[in-house]
Amino acid sequence: MRKLIAILSFCAVTLSAGAQSLTITHLSETHSMVQLGGKDRYVMLPVQETAQEAVVKVLSNGREVYKANVSLAIDKTDYLVPLDLGEWNGSSILLDITMRQGRGVRRDPSDDVCWSEMTTVPALTYTNKEKKYRPTYHFSPAWGWMNDPNGMVYKDGEWHLFYQYNPYGSFWGNMHWGHAVSKDLIHWEQLGIAIAPDALGDIFSGSAIVDKDNVAGFGKDAIVAMYTSAGDNQTQSIAYSLDNGRTFTKYAGNPVIMAEDTPDFRDPKLFWDPQSKQWKVILAAGQEVQFYSSDNLKDWTYDSSFGLAYGNHNGVWECPDLVRLPFEGKDKYVLILNINPGGPFGGSATQYFVGSYDGKTFKCDDLPTVTRWMDYGKDHYATVTWSNAPDNRTVAIAWMSNWQYANSVPTTQFRSANSVPRDLSLIRKGKEVLLKSTPSPEMEALRGNPVQLALSTAPVELFDTPQRAYELVIRFNLPKKEDVTFVLSNETGEQVVFSYNAAVQTFSMDRRGSGTVKFSKSFAAVTTAPTTVGGKMELRLLVDSASIEAFGEDFCMTNLVFPASPYNILKMYGNTKADVTLYPIAK
Ligand code: FRU
C-alpha cells in the first residue's frame, strides 16, 4: 500500500476511494485478461513511458467496444492514467490486453509491475502535481498528450475548446477529442474525453458549429462537429451534441466526405457563408485546400480548390481556416494554413493568404510566390479560430509546440499547452495587408497590480521572489538606425535575448541559452521577424512557466522555454530609455 501511495502522489489523478476489484489471468506470456468485479468507474492503468505499447481492448458483454495503445509499466510506474468505463456501466466488462514486448529472458508475465499496480477507483480528482513547467494561464490538459486545438465554438456564454488528445500517455497516439470550457477565455474547466475513436479510425482534427436553424435535423442549436476519421485512409465524419458539448452522438451515415486517392485529406473547418447562405467546409487535401458546400451538413458538394503553387509547400498542408475580416471599409478573407515541416525556423508553422471569397472560390491578392507567416516563433501551430464568437470577433488559438520536438519537451505527465487566445485583424503596412494577432482583451483581466520600472542600462530585478507568470509592456523611443536589446535572465544565468536590429529591420528572440534546450537538436534557436525598427515602439511579452509570447506593432513570436528557475532580471543594451510596466499574473 505504501508503494501505491508513493506512486499516486506523483500522478495528476488521485484515488478518492474504492477497493481493488480486478481478477487478472495471464493466458500466455503476452496475453492477459482482466475481469472487473466491482462497480468502480475507472481502471487506473500504470504507465512506463519507455515501455512498448500494449493493446488494451475493452470487451463489453463479449463485444469489443473500445481499444487503446498504452505503455503499460514493466519495471516501474511513471504515472497512472484512468480508463473510463462509465459508458458501459452495468454490462459485464473484460479488458483483453496484449503486451507487445519481446520478452527475451522474462519468464513470468506477472513480473510486470502493471499487474500489481493496476487498480480501480469510483471517481477522479485532478491535482496537477507536475508543476515545474505547468503553465499558469495557458491551457494544458490535466494529464496526457495534447496537440491541435479542435472544434472551437462559442455557445451560451461558453467558449468550447476541444483538442487532439491522448488520454493514455504523454506522447502522440490514440487520438481522441478532449474538451474544456471557459466563460472568460482564461479559466478552463477540464471536461475530459468528448469524442473517442471508432471503427472508422482515430479522431483527428476538425471543427464545430452551432446549427441554429437545425438544418441537419439533429436538433435546434445542436453543436455539430466535423472531424477527420483517420483509419487506413482519411475521411470526414460528423457528430452532434444536444448538451453543449458534454456528450456527442456520431452520425450513423459517416463518413460524410470521402475522396479518391488523397492520403492527406483532413482537418475540416466548417463555416457559414452569408453569400450563398450555405454551410461550407475548408479542408487540407495534399498540397492544396478544398472547399465543399452543404445545405444540411450531411451531404457535401465539392466547390473549388486553392493553393497549388501558392505560398510555402515544403511540408504537408494541414488545419486550414477561412475567416472574414473588415479592412478599410470592406470585407477581406484570410485563409489560414498550417504547414509541417517548412516553417521559417524549421518544423511546423502557420502561413496565411489574404484575398477574396465569393461563396465558392478563394482568390489570393498576392502573387503565388509570396509567403506570409502568422507568427515568427517556432511554437505556433495548428492555429484555427472560434466559430460563432460574440461581437463579430475573430479569435484564434494555436498549439504552442512544434512537431520537431513536441514529443520530447521536458514534461512528463502532460505534454503541451496552447497559446493565449488572440483576436485577429488586418493592418496596412506600406502596400501590404498583414494579419495581426493581439492577445484577446480578456487576457488583461489577468493583470495584477502594475509596477512601473524605468529601464536604462542597469539591470532591474522584477520580483523579490521570482515569479513564473507575468506580463511586461516595454515602451521606448528608438533613435533612427539604433539597435536595442532586452535580456531576461535568471539567477543561474539562463537568458532569453530580444533584439531589434535597425540595419535589417527585424526583431529576434534568442533562446539558445534559455535553460534546458538539449532534448532536441532543433530546439536551441534564434527566431526573427521583419518589423519596422525606430521611433516610438512597444513590445509586449507574455511570460509563463514554459513560454514567451512577444507582440510588437506588426509581428508576433511564440517560443517555448524551459528555464531552471523563473527569469527575474531585465536588462537593456542600447541608446534609449524604456518605460516598463510589469504586471504580475496570478490566476
Ligand atoms: C496537425 C495534425 C493534423 C491532424 C492531427 C493529428 O498537427 O497533423 O493534420 O489532424 O495533427 O493529431
CA of 291 to the centre of ligand 1 (A): 19
> Could you tell me if the CB of 202 is within 6 A of ligand 1?
no
Q: What are phi and psi for residue 88, nearest 5 degrees?
A: -110, 20
Nine-digit cell string for 278? 450555405
- For ligand 1, pick from 204, 316, 402, 404 the residue to mutate: most ligand atoms within 8 Å of CB: 204
For residue 205, which atom of ligand 1 is closest to its CA? Answer: 10
pLDDT of residue 11: 36
| 119-124-129 Cα angle (round to 5) | 95
pLDDT at 127: 66
| Residue 147 near ligand 1, beta carbon < 6 Å | yes
Q: Which of 166, 316, 319 to mutate to test the pocket of ligand 1 (most atoms within 8 A of CB)?
A: 319
Tell me the C-alpha distance between 515 and 257, whole Å.
46
Task: Please state the φ and ψ torsions of residue 87, each to the nearest 5 degrees.
Answer: -60, -30
Judge whether residue 260 has pLDDT over 80. yes
Give the position, in ligand 1's atom list, of the atom nearest the Cα of 399.
7
The domain defined by 12-121 carries CATH number 2.60.40 = yes
**For a substitution probing ligand 1, which of 163, 267, 321 has the most ligand atoms within 8 Å of its CB?**
267
- pLDDT at residue 140 is higher than 70: yes
* 141-153 pLDDT, tens digit each: 999 999 999 999 9
Please give the grid coordinates belonging to residue 227.
Answer: 472531424
pLDDT at 2 over 60: no
Of 19-23, 216-220, 255-259, the one with minimum mean pLDDT is 19-23
d(CA 411, CA 206) in angstroms, rounded, equals: 26
Query: According to DSSP H, which parts of 408-472 are helical?
Result: none
- Residue 318 CA: nearest ligand 1 atom is 9
Whole-prediction pTM value?
Answer: 0.95
Whose C-alpha lies nearest to ligand 1, atom 8?
Answer: 318
Nearest atom, ligand 1, residue 348 CA: 7
Say if strands 414-415 and 144-155 run parallel, antiparallel, or are unpaired.
parallel
User: If you take atom 6 of ligand 1, which residue's CA is the nearest one?
Assistant: 204
Q: Does the C-beta of 148 come closer than 6 Å to ligand 1?
A: yes
| Centroid of ligand 1 to alpha carbon of 381 (angstroms) | 10
Mean pLDDT of the chain: 94
Which pLDDT does position 125 carry in this prediction? 74
The domain 197-439 is placed in CATH, from the list 3.40.50.300, 2.115.10.20, 3.65.10.10, 3.40.640.10, at: 2.115.10.20
- Give the amino acid at 282: I
Ligand 1 centroid to Cα of residue 382, in Å, is 8
Q: Which of 150, 205, 237, 397 to mutate to test the pocket of ligand 1 (most atoms within 8 A of CB)?
A: 205
pLDDT tens digits, residue range 414-465? Answer: 999 999 999 999 999 999 999 999 999 999 999 999 999 999 889 999 999 9
Return the domain boundaries, the chain: 12-121, 197-439, 447-584
| Ligand 1 centroid to residue 233 C-alpha, Å | 14
How far is the C-alpha of 256 from the C-alpha of 238, rounded, in Å? 7
What distance in angstroms lies between residue 106's CA and the mean position of ligand 1's atoms?
38
Q: Is 266 touching ligand 1 by the criterion CB < 6 Å?
A: yes
Q: Is the CB of 204 under 6 A from ligand 1?
A: yes
pLDDT digits (tens, 9 = 90+) for 86-113: 999 878 899 999 998 655 555 688 889 9
Catalytic annotation, residues: 148
Distance in angstroms (rounded) separating the CA atoms of residues 91 and 243: 25
The answer to whether residue 43 scores a pLDDT higher than 80 is yes
**Ligand 1 centroid from CA 318, angstroms:** 7
Which CATH architecture group holds 447-584?
A: Sandwich (2.60)
- Whether 97 and 112 have beta carbons less than 8 Å apart is answered as no
* Other Cβ atoms within 10 Å of 433 Cβ, number: 19
Judged by DSSP in three states, 552 sits in coil
The 10s digit of each residue's pLDDT in 480-513 is 999 999 999 999 999 999 999 999 999 999 999 9
pLDDT tens per residue across span 272-289: 999 999 999 999 999 999
Cell numbers representing residue 12 in the block: 495528476
Q: Is the CB of 150 under 6 A from ligand 1?
A: no
Grid coordinates representing 18? 474504492
Distance 148 CA to ligand 1 centre (A): 6
Q: Would you say residue 5 has pLDDT above 60?
A: no
Q: Looking at 18-27, 42-51, 248-257, which range is the least confident one?
A: 18-27
329-339: average pLDDT: 98
